[in-house]
Amino acid sequence: MLQFSGYKYPWGDKISSSKANYDLYNRTKSSDWKMPWFHIKNVGSYAPNAYGLYDMVGNVWEWCADSYDDKHVIRGGSYRDNSTQIGCAIRWVMPPLVCNFDIGFRCAMDIR
């Protein structure tokens, strides 16, 4: 049985650009950086972790059901964040009506 508790990233402790969409600006110095929708990847663009879960960090921040200090929590980091800003335990809080290219929702399906 795989044990992942305590790891920094969903796949282990070492960051890898082959496992998540993050830090795109610093890695590519892309001329189309001002068009953020060009940098968002499709769901499943990277291999799943050992539990079969896709895209747990990077790409876009995900709104979560929990709140903190009357604000809503986002988790996971985005394509704009560097390796210190993405990870399993990373969270930020945002006012509930914030709309941004690097914040989205995770759609999940029951495995039954």
Question: Tens of pLDDT along 42-51?
Answer: 888 988 888 8
Q: How far is CA 17 from CA 42, 63, 67, 95, in A?
A: 15, 23, 30, 30
Measure the CA–CA gap between 50 and 92, rounded to whole angstroms.
26
Would you state the structure tokens that stand for residue 31, as one six-digit string? 């001329």
Given this model, what pLDDT does residue 108 score?
A: 75
Q: Which of 103, 104, 85 is nearest to 8 (CA)?
A: 85
Question: Tens of pLDDT along 2-19?
Answer: 445 677 888 888 888 888
